[in-house]
Structure 1
């Protein structure tokens, strides 16, 4: 099991993580630190716990928006898949109809050819 030292709001923390996940944990901590730093500049140093809470809420809000967008995109994909399936079915029906027309035309041409040969 790996360990990573991260810094948030100029305080160091040691965090355990799975082997090979160290860089990912550093990136996540950096993301949190950016939010905390931005908040500290905006509202001042109101304490680590409050800054981390506020940053956590902002990140949760971002995640909520991302989930909502993901849900809308999944719905759109589902609608497009349904439209595609419907279009494919209409295309198959049109091909079948065209094939029937072509068969009928071929029969008529053969009948005309037989009549012409018989005459």
Structure 2
């Protein structure tokens, strides 16, 4: 079994973990430490059990918010998948594009000629 060292708030810990789970434990501890550090910045030093409780509650609140957002997104996805909106994208044939470009060029030329005549 591997041992993982980490710090939460102002205290260092060492826990045993299953092989391959060290990274997960360090990541979880880092999340808890982030919350603990915010609490310590606002409230100052406090007893370890209270700090861990507050940090855990803050993480639980964030988790609940993310879970609610995920549920809403899942419901919206299911709704869209069950009743997809039909989207039609017009495809302009290449010869029509060329004809329109030619018409635009001719119109611009006529406009320039008209401006020249009006300027006289």
What corresponds to 2:97 in structure 1? Answer: none
What corresponds to 2:60 in structure 1? Answer: 60
Root mean square deviation of aligned Cα: 1.5
What corresponds to 1:39 in structure 2? Answer: 39
CA distance in 1, matches of 2:17, 2:74: 32
CA distance in 1, matches of 2:70, 2:16: 30
- 1:89-108 mapped onto 2 (5 Å cutoff): none
Question: Which SS does the other structure have where 1:20 is aligned?
Answer: coil
Q: How many residues align?
A: 86
Shift of 1:2: 2.4
Normalised by the length of structure 1, the TM-score is: 0.66
Query: In proportion to residue count, which structure has more helix?
Result: 1
Shift of 1:16: 2.2
Shift of 1:44: 1.4
4+ runs of 1 displaced by more than 2 Å? none
CA distance in 1, matches of 2:22, 2:40: 26
- Pick closer, same or farther for the CA change 1:10–1:46 going to 2, 3 Å: closer
Shift of 1:63: 0.4
Normalised by the length of structure 2, the TM-score is: 0.66
Structure 2: runs of 5+ lacking an equivalent = 87-120
Say yes or no: does 1:16 pair with 2:16: yes
CA distance in 2, matches of 1:57, 1:28: 14
